[in-house]
Structure 1
Amino acid sequence: MERAAASGVDVRLETDEEAEAGLPDPTARAAIRVVQEGLTNATKHAPGSVVRVSLHRTGDVLEVTVANGRAHGPRQRPADPAGPGYGLVGLDERVRLAGGTLRAGPDGDGFTLTACLPVDAQQAAAPSPATPPELALAGARRTLRRGLVTTFWAPTVLGVILVAMFLLRGGTL
């Protein structure tokens, strides 16, 4: 957060006194990544907006929220315009492996990213059930495998059949 503030991003932190005390390592690392990803996305997609970072602990759950308002400057173009980044997909996986859940989406004129992470070390070691982004990633992998079959195996099998038919009709190669 200090680097973001030093670079001119208006970052406001709200936290409970006990929010960061005694966090298991997976929870602490996931919380740091949520803040990093939220600040990166706010800087890229909503330059000039105020970014609120809040850490609140309720019982056995640490809630980490990064929210930004409407952009007040020109949006930065992604470094690779050919495709979107996978920051939120990777972040969802990290949060899930820490035993938590992640919500991200539009919120009024801005965007809010919220992770709920377990404070109990045993819960932090147990991954949460699959979330929609993870299911989407699994679907993309299945589609890729089907594409490989269509691109490689279908022409190969067709070629073998054509050669066999040619040879059966008495042709020579």
Structure 2
Amino acid sequence: MQALVERAERAERERHLLAERARAEERARLAGEMHDVVTHRVSLMVLQAGALRVTAPDEATRQAAEELRSAGCQALEELRDLVGILRTAPEGDRTPSVAGFAGLVAESVAVGIPTELIEEGDPAMASPVVGRTAYRVLREALTNVRKHAPGARVNVGVEYDTAQLRLTVRDTPPTGGPRGALAGTGSGLGIARLRQRIELVHGTLRAGPCSDGGFSVEATLPVFVPTSESAV
């Protein structure tokens, strides 16, 4: 009887620890997603403020643009410190899917980064979780171009077929050095987190410099991953 009581108490403690661990992991996942989204948006604001500082016709506007740019950089730095080391985000979220690719490209063009999107095949073939994963890859890749490759041109290629979704993001060599204010605002784990996400859906990710001095990110994902969303 004593052995049964001890076993029950041990099982209860283990359930409690597992529940605590699950809650901690969920908080980390939500924090990671917040970091990705906010960094993407604020980095756009920083670049727009920097452009306004250069083109503004009067000193007052230039000063206001500089203050906005500095505040944005500070916000990115504080966000990185707050979030810390992040894990993968939950898949049951509202991250845009492949239909959001054009919006990401338009944002890059709006801040002065020539970006071209070429899609081949039927986007409807991508299941929801695959589409969101691909969206995150593209968002991270374009954010890194803004941070580390000023003056580069970007080509985004997406191929849909019956088995795979292949996303390729290549930028030309930058014409200037990394933007100091933006380059240090990330967690340094963007590519690592993307690789984790992609491995969860049994895909592959390759990222590295090109022979011409540019950079390439290539993700290959199965076009369909069954989830509760795809169940009828």
Fold conserved (TM > 0.5)?
yes
Structure 1's 36 and 81: CA in aligned 2 closer, same or farther, altered over 3 A? closer
Over 3 Å off, 4+ runs: 78-84
Q: Counterpart of 2:225? A: 121
C-alpha distance in 2 between matches for 1:4 and 1:82: 18
Q: Counterpart of 2:96? A: none
Q: Aligned letter for 1:107?
A: C
Q: Which deviates further from its counterpart, 75-84 or 63-72?
A: 75-84
Q: Counterpart of 1:66? A: 169
C-alpha distance in 2 between matches for 1:106 and 1:60: 27
C-alpha distance in 1 between matches for 2:174 and 2:168: 18
Higher helix share: 2
Larger Rg: 1
Give the counterpart of 1:86 among 179, 189, 195.
Answer: 189
C-alpha distance in 2 between matches for 1:73 and 1:101: 31
C-alpha distance in 1 between matches for 2:139 and 2:175: 21
Q: Counterpart of 1:24? A: 127
Q: CA RMSD in A?
A: 2.4
C-alpha distance in 2 between matches for 1:29 and 1:82: 24
Structure 1's 120 and 70: CA in aligned 2 closer, same or farther, altered over 3 A? same
C-alpha distance in 2 between matches for 1:120 and 1:25: 8
Matched, 1:4 2:81: no
C-alpha distance in 1 between matches for 2:191 and 2:181: 15
C-alpha distance in 2 between matches for 1:61 and 1:55: 10
Q: Where do 5+ consecutive residues of structure 1 fail to align?
A: 124-173
Structure 1's 56 and 107: CA in aligned 2 closer, same or farther, altered over 3 A? same
Alignment TM-score, normalising by the size of structure 1: 0.64
C-alpha distance in 2 between matches for 1:110 and 1:118: 27
C-alpha distance in 1 between matches for 2:126 and 2:110: 27
Structure 1's 79 and 12: CA in aligned 2 closer, same or farther, altered over 3 A? closer
SS of 2:216 mapped into structure 1: strand
Higher strand share: 1
Structure 1's 80 and 45: CA in aligned 2 closer, same or farther, altered over 3 A? closer
For each residue in 1:1-39, what CA deviation from the matched residue of structure 2 results, as whole angstroms up to 9, or x when unmatched?
221111111101111141x12311110011101111111
Alignment TM-score, normalising by the size of structure 2: 0.48
C-alpha distance in 1 between matches for 2:225 and 2:128: 8
Count of residue pairs the alignment pairs up: 123
Q: Give the share of equivalent positions with the same residue, in percent.
A: 34
